[in-house]
């Protein structure tokens, strides 16, 4: 084929100690630097206490109920009231969903 000599392929079959060493080499990583630590370690102590979690649940329930009433009645200015109660309810639900609860 185009004047190239044939290529010989050697199969490397490691022994058990060599295979363990190859595995160890693959799983070793250098320690992470500040850039690799990322966003997750910026605020490691950000959490909810049971009291703040209960208060957020209460606020979400009240705001959600008021949102539903504004949407259902549709009196003049209902859209502004719906936004005013819907946004805190949505933010509260997101906070409850993504912040850990610490006892």
**Mean pLDDT score, 86-94:** 97
For 11-31, how does the pLDDT look when each residue is reduced to its tens digit (9 = 90+)?
667 677 776 666 555 555 566
Confidence (pLDDT) at 13: 72
Residue 63 and residue 82 in contact, taking contact as beta carbons nearer than 8 Å: no
Q: Rounded to whole angstroms, how far apart are CA atoms 99 and 53?
A: 10
- Determine phi and psi for 56, rounding to 5 degrees: -65, -40
Taking all residues of the chain, what is their mean pLDDT, rounded to a whole number? 81
Which residues lie closer than 8 Å to 93 by C-beta, 6 or more apart? 60
For 70-87, give the secondary structure using H, E and C.
HHHHCCCCHHHHHHHHHH
């Amino acid at each position: 084929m185009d004047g190239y000599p044939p290529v010989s392929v050697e199969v490397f079959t490691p022994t058990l100690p060599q295979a363990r060493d190859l595995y160890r080499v693959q799983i070793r990583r250098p320690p992470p630097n500040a850039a690799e630590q990322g966003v997750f370690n910026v605020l490691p102590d950000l959490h909810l206490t049971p009291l703040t979690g209960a208060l957020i649940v209460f606020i979400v329930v009240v705001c959600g109920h008021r949102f539903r009433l504004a949407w259902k009645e549709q009196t003049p200015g209902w859209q502004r009231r719906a936004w005013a109660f819907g946004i805190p309810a949505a933010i509260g639900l997101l906070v409850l969903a993504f912040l850990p609860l610490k006892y």
